[in-house]
Amino acid sequence: MREVAVVGIGMHKWGELWGMSIRDMFTIAARNAMDDAGVNNIDSMYIGCMSGGLFAGQEHLASLMADYLGVLPAAAARVESACASAGLAVRQGWMEVASGISDVVLVGGVEKMTDITGEEATFALSTAADTEYEGYNGVTFPGLYAMMARSHMHKYGTTLEQLSHVSVKNHANGALNPEAQYPFPVSLETVMNSTMVAEPLRLLHCSPITDGAAAVILCPVEIAKKEFKDHPLVVITGSGHATDTLALHSRDDFTTIKSATIAAQKAYRMAGVGPEDIDFAEVHDCFTIAEIMVTESIGFFEAGQGGPAAENGITSREGAKPINTSGGLKSKGHPVGATGAAQIIEITRQLRGEAGKRQLDNPRRGLAQNMGGSGGSSLVHILEVK
C-alpha cells in the first residue's frame, strides 16, 4: 500500500450564497485545490454530497461536476454518508491512491442548502436520521442532540456553561478565518441567552445552514516528493471508518459516539500513534455537545471530562489540545456534504504553517473527525507533516 500525500487544498468563503449554484461552488473549490497543487488534470474524483436532490434539485453530480470542472473523461463518483459524505469521499480517494489504481485524485464535497425554506431544510436534514421511527415521531436533529446533551449532563454533571464555552471558543477561532460563515466572536452571556431551540440547546449551541464546497488533491508520497515541492509534505498516515445504529434509541448509551471511537482506534492503529500524540484536531461540532462527546469518544479526555476541558481552556488555540481552530462547524459553517473535506484543509493548513492569525505553534500531527447524523457513521483521518 502506497503512502498518500495531500498536495492541494481549495475552498471559498462559505455562507448564504444566493448568487452561486451548486456547480459554481464545487468548481471554484476544486479549481482552487488544483491551482494550489499546480495540476491541470486528475485521474478521478469523489464528491461528497448528502442531499443534492432535496436541497438543490440536482442528482447525478459526478457527471455534472466533472463536466463543469473541465476534467472529462476522468472517472467521477458521488459519495453519500449524510454529514460525513466528504469525509468518506476523502477515504475513498485515499484508498484509490494507496492501492495504486490512480495517481492524482480530487476529493471533496458540496452542499447548497439555502435555496429552500427552513422547513424544507429541516426535512432534508432529518433524512439523515431514522425516518420511519425518529422522523415519524417528529424528532429533528436539535431534538436528538438535546437528548444526548441531557443524558450527558445527567450522567457526568456537564453544565450549560460548558456547552456554551465550546461555542465561545469556536467563534473566537472562526473570527480569524476569512472563509468562515460567521467570523465574529460571541460572549458566554450571549450564547447562554440565545433563543431556545431544543432544551437545553440554544441557537448558539447549533451549527448553521450553509452553502459551500471544499476540495483536496491526493497523490502518492513518492510522486509528491518529486513533483509537488511548493508546500511542506503532508501525509495521511491513518484512516478509520465505522458505523453505528442509525436510530439513537437503538444504542446502549446516549453519552458516547461509538462509531467515532472505533474509527479513531483504526486510524490510531494504522498511524502507529495514540490520542496523546495528536497535537490538534478538527471534530464534528454540529452541536456543542457533539464536540464534547467526540473529544471523549476519540480518547482525548476521559468520559465526562470534555466539558471541563472546554471550560478550562484546554481545547483553545493556546491550550494543550486545540480543537476546531478553523471555527468548526459552529462558526465556519456546515454545508453538510462538504464539511469533512474542509476539516482536512484546516489540518493541512496548520501543518504547512499557512493558517494565518489562527496558526498554532509548530504542529506536527493533526486529526480530523467527521460524522453523519447522530453518529451513525464516522470517519477519522490522521495527518502528519514530514
Report the run of H or E that residue 95 belongs to, with start and end: helix 85-99
Q: How far is CA 323 from CA 116, 167, 261, in A?
A: 32, 12, 17
Query: How far is the C-alpha of 241 from the C-alpha of 370, rounded, in Å?
Result: 10
Catalytic center residues: 83, 334
Contacts of 229 (CB under 8 A, 6+ apart): none
Strands, E assignment, 49-91 = 75-79
Contact criterion met (CB below 8 Å) for 369 and 298: yes
DSSP summary character for residue 83: B
**Residue 8 per-residue DSSP state:** E
Contact 285, 169 (CB under 8 A): no
Name the phi and psi angles at 37, rounded to 5: -80, -25
Helix/strand/coil percent split, the chain, to 5 = 40, 20, 40
CB 336 within 8 A of CB 113: yes
* Helices of type H across 178-304: 188-192, 221-227, 258-271, 288-297
